[in-house]
Amino acid sequence: MTPIQDCLINKNSKINPIWIMRQAGRYLPEFREIRSKNPDFIKLCLNENLSSEITLQPIKRFNFDAAIIFSDILMLPYGLGQEVKFEKGLGPRLGKLDLDLIANTNKDEFSRKLNPIYKSISKISFNNICKNKDIIGFAGAPWTILVYMINKMSPKKSLSKEIFNDQLFINKLLSIIEKFLKIHIENQINAGATIIQVFDSWAGLLEDNISEFIYKPTLNIVNHVKKLGIPVICFPRGIKNYKNFCEVVKPDMVNIDYNIDPKKIIKEVQIPVQGGLDPKILLTDKENLKKEATKYLKIFKDHPYVFNLGHGILPETKIEMVEELVKIVRDFK
């Protein structure tokens, strides 16, 4: 059994597995080299040879306990026929949302469009470097995908109330998203993913209708993954009440963000916990990094815990700081 599975399934609190969100990314010089020759991000995600190579880069460097497939949550709207492009300095931009077109998406055509992602997972699963490590497949939560598809870009810190004007439209779109998320996740599992992480990047934007737009749709996804016999981690970033979320949605593990007090989490959350460290700590110095990382390790010393960040690693992070973080976690007793 892998260290993360031991933590997740057996609730082993005597080990400290580690991986990092966005570990295959811009802070790595070997990634930047590939990216400089491949400016189209979507095409890069759909290049099974390069995406599998990128996925394994941080494993080769840091010997993390999991490889997370190099992909993006917005591959789902892409698979549904909505234009998706990434503009430098601006982030994702999505095209016109045609509900009739999306509603008539053929599931085989959807899977064929995203097949290079599944091929990449399969390729990684047969690589000896991943022996006794998990392969994490992932998807965006229904709410976050809905926000991107309607807003057509990152909503940042606020959300227009107009998004809720046409309730019938919202409900139909949410239903389509849920259906294809299940297909996308199942395809990743069939290809070799051993854990699924569900990213709800914009959970923190919603103050009302949380049950309708976050709890219920995410619970449907979590239940689907559990039926397939695979553990599921949820990251409801920025959500105000982690306790309620865990009690209703019932993931196998919850990833916490850096704005939440870990001492509050240890009192309120019974399931295994992942993450929490502010990525900006990796931009400071080794002494501060040790202090902050050790704080999380001490708080969760007797609780099943996977070390991770409270958001993705920042592009300006230095390699030696990641090496130091891995050493701190591995040496902690």
68-89 in b/e form (b: 16+ CB < 10 A) is: bbbbbbbbbbbbbbbebebeee
Number of structural domains found in the chain: 1
Q: What is the pLDDT of residues 62-101, one digit of tens each?
A: 999 999 999 999 999 999 999 999 987 778 999 999 999 9
> Which two structure tokens, joined as six digits, stand for 164?
């809720």
| 8, 251, 305 from 11: Cα distances, Å | 5, 14, 9
Task: Give mean pLDDT, residues 310-327.
Answer: 98
Ranking 81-90, 227-236, 270-279 by mean pLDDT, the lowest is: 81-90
| 115, 121, 223, 237 from 219: Cα distances, Å | 26, 25, 6, 16
- Please tell me the predicted confidence (pLDDT) of residue 153: 87
Q: What is the pLDDT of residues 32-41, one digit of tens each?
A: 999 999 999 9
Mean pLDDT for the chain? Answer: 95
Asked if 198 contacts 233 with a C-beta cutoff of 8 angstroms, the reply is: yes
Cα separation of 215 and 233, whole Å?
Answer: 14
Containing structural domain, residue 85: 3-331
Cα separation of 91 and 119, whole Å?
Answer: 26
- Please tell me the predicted confidence (pLDDT) of residue 290: 98
Cα separation of 232 and 234, whole Å?
Answer: 7
18 forms bridges with which residues in the sheet?
307
Q: What is the pLDDT of residues 127-172, one digit of tens each?
A: 999 999 999 999 999 999 999 999 888 887 566 676 778 889 999 9
- Please tell me the predicted confidence (pLDDT) of residue 158: 61
Structure-model confidence comparison of residues 112 and 164, the more confident one: 112
Look up the CATH number of the domain holding residue 127.
3.20.20.210
- Please tell me the predicted confidence (pLDDT) of residue 155: 85
- Please tell me the predicted confidence (pLDDT) of residue 87: 83
